[in-house]
Amino acid sequence: MKKDEVPQDLGSLGKITKEVCYATDSTGKYVTELSTGWEVKTKALDVAWEDIAKRIASAKEQVLNNQASPLLFFMEYRLMDISILADYTGFWKWQIKRHLKPGVFNKLSDQKLQKYAEAFNIKVEDLKSMTVHED
C-alpha cells in the first residue's frame, strides 16, 4: 500500500488514538504512516463489542435470577476469565468456581470480597450490588 492510500476512516478508536501502518513512499521505501482507522476493521470490532455486550447482559441476568454470583457479571464486564481473576486475587481457580455460586458468594468474608473488589477496581458494596461507575 502506498503512503497516500493508508485508510483514514474514522474508527472506534480514531478519536482516541491512531494506528501505525507500514506503507511505501514515492521512492518505494517502507515508511510508517498513522491511520485513524479502517472501515472493515471498525465493523469487525463493532461485532466483537456487540458480542461482549450480550455476554455482560447474560451474566447480569444470571445473577438477577440467582444462578450465578456477581463475580460472573464483573468478570464479563472487565473481560476476565477464571485464570486471569485467579492471578489478580491469589485465589485458586477451583475457589473462584465455587465463589461463582450465589450461596457460597453470600457467605464470603469481607477480606475475600475486598480482594475481588480490588481486582475489579470497585468497592465491595458495588460488587455486591453489581453497580458500575464509569470513570
Percent of the chain with pLDDT over 70: 94
Whether 19 has a pLDDT exceeding 90, the answer reads no
118 has a pLDDT exceeding 70? yes
Residues 103/89, Cβ–Cβ less than 8 Å: no
User: Using one digit for the tens of pLDDT, what is the confidence trace for 51-66?
Assistant: 999 999 999 999 999 9
Burial of 116 (0-12, 13-18, 19+ CB in 10 A): buried
Segment (H or E) for 21:
strand 19-24
pLDDT of residue 66: 96
Distances (CA, A) of 51 to 18, 39, 54, 68, 113: 24, 19, 5, 20, 28
CATH number of 41-129: 1.10.260
Residue 17 is predicted with a pLDDT of 77
pLDDT at 110: 96
**The pLDDT of residue 124:** 96
The pTM of the full predicted model, rounded to 2 decimals, is 0.77
Chain segment 29-42, per-residue pLDDT in tens: 999 888 877 788 87
User: Which pLDDT value is given to residue 12?
Assistant: 64
Q: What is the largest CA-CA distance in the chain?
A: 69
CB 47, CB 60: distance < 8 Å: no
Residue 43 to residue 45: CA distance in whole angstroms: 5
- pLDDT of 13 above 80: no
Is 85's pLDDT higher than 90? yes
- Specify the domain boundaries for CATH 1.10.260 within the chain: 41-129
Secondary structure (3-state) at 12? coil
Instruction: Give the separation between CA 24 and CA 49, rounded to whole angstroms.
Output: 32
